[in-house]
Amino acid sequence: MGRLNHRILWLAFVCATGFSAGAHTENLTGPVEARILRVLDGDTFEAEARVWPGHSVRVNVRIRGIDAPEIKSRCGAERRAALEARAALSELLGERVSLWNIGSAKYYGRVLADVETAEGTSVVPFMLSRGLARPYEGGRRAGWCG
């Protein structure tokens, strides 16, 4: 799909949901069904969100409430932990999820959302209980290496 088609779909998403990348005060309640395209790391994935029947938008989703180790870290221990977190998140998410409480994230084109698996499992408690991520409420993130 060409760049123009992606922009048209993004505009359709904005019009259909009232979502705005620049609006930091308004959230879309959800649920919005999404198909997982790829897991980027332990707290972010790329999805195809269904904005209305027959129409979807491709978007990166940052999971609200957690911070996972970074794959591009200079620290070897953090990179290894990041790969473990990404693998666990990928297995947990499966093929489809529901997005709730959807808002804009720091970077354009990425959203911040609460995420549940197709079976209704909330992602945040799963990742936290296994030590694959830690709580995060915004602001400067702490490093994973000493």
Summarize pLDDT for 3-23 with one digit per residue, the tens.
545 544 444 555 454 444 444
Is the preceding peptide bond at 31 cis, omega within 30 degrees of 0? yes
CATH of domain 3-135: 2.40.50.90
Retrieve residue 24's tokens. 């930091």
**pLDDT above 90 coverage of the chain, percent:** 65
Q: What is the mean pLDDT of residues 116-126?
A: 97
Q: Dmax of the chain from CA atoms?
A: 49
Global pTM value: 0.80
Q: Which residues are 110's β-sheet partners?
A: 60
Reduced to 3 states, what is the DSSP secondary structure of residue 84? helix
* DSSP 8-state assignment for residue 122: B
Residues whose CB falls within 8 Å of the CB of residue 55, separated by 6 or more in sequence, listed in order: 9, 12, 16
**Dihedral (CA of 128, 65, 68, 74) sign:** negative
| Residues whose CB falls within 8 Å of the CB of residue 52, separated by 6 or more in sequence, listed in order | 12, 16
Name 50's bridge partners.
56
Buried b (16+ CB within 10 A) or exposed e, 15-26: eebebeeeeeee
Helix or strand run (H / E) with residue 11: helix 3-17
Q: pLDDT digits over 43-75, tens only?
A: 999 999 998 899 999 999 999 999 999 999 999
What is the separation of C-alpha 39 from the centre of its chain, rounded to a whole number of angstroms?
9
